[in-house]
Amino acid sequence: MSCESDVAAVSLTDLRFYIHEVRLLAADGGETAVKLQPGPLWQSEDVALLDFESGAGSCQNGTQQVNTLVRGHAGAGNYTGLRFRVGVPEHLNHADPLLADAPLAYSFMHWHWRTGYKFLRAGVATADDGFWLHLGSSRCEGTATDVKGCRSANRPEIELPSFVPDKHVVVIDLRDLVDGIDLENGIPSDCSSGPAEVECEQPFSALGIDFDSGTRDGIASVFRVGTRE
């Protein structure tokens, strides 16, 4: 699925997300942090932005630039797994985006009215229906740059225990994200992480998040291991 091709009459409308705390797992259970390589558009030492939409076709609200790689390095080791967290670290989430460096300077990934970033933007559409998800911290108290805290962090930790860096890639399966959501009723629906939005329950579960508390709850089925081509 891409912005210019569909799968079973379902097309992609958006897919962008931040990740941080990238770690490689050893066979003995130990973990090694991946040091992110800062770049001019997509990465700082703290966070990376992945962007799979091209602004073309069905992704009309997107941008032309894409980024499907995370760049970093770790010490040599026998690594057999991967962990990372989706989202922006708490100490960066409520800073002023107008003063931020990339990849936190993009207004399309910021929730001005929620005093923080959209950790993940994803959307799909059929001919006359659709669904989109904006994941971010919720139940926050305070104002921009002066947030006292958020009761629902909504930063899922992804664990892939059978990942070997030189053999595998991370696959995102959006089918699980919208499984159970009716895309044929002609009524577009959405989830912006609000406590009253019942449409959030399925995608939150697929991301391994408890919708009520915003904490980790089970395995994130949206992400899985694939073989390098």
Q: How far is CA 31 from CA 24, 28, 89, 120, 171, in A?
A: 5, 9, 19, 25, 21
Residue ranges in the chain modelled with pLDDT below 50: none
Question: Do residues 70 and 86 touch, judged by C-beta distance below 8 A?
Answer: no
The predicted pLDDT at position 145 comes to: 64
The predicted pLDDT at position 114 comes to: 62
The predicted pLDDT at position 144 comes to: 63
The predicted pLDDT at position 14 comes to: 95
Question: What is the residue-wise DSSP string for 196-225?
Answer: T-GGGHHHHHHTTB-TTT-SB-S--TTEEE
The predicted pLDDT at position 24 comes to: 97
The predicted pLDDT at position 155 comes to: 95
Express each pLDDT in 130-186 by its tens digit.
Answer: 999 999 998 888 766 678 788 899 999 999 999 999 999 999 988 888 888 888 888
Pairing between strand 120-125 and 130-135? antiparallel
User: Rounded distance, CA 210 to CA 132, Å?
Assistant: 19
Coil, strand, or helix at residue 3? coil
Provide the whole-model pTM: 0.93
User: Rounded distance, CA 121 to CA 195, Å?
Assistant: 18
CA of residue 207 relative to chain centroid, distance: 9
The predicted pLDDT at position 215 comes to: 82
Burial 194-203 (b: 16+ CB within 10 A, else e): eeebebbbbb
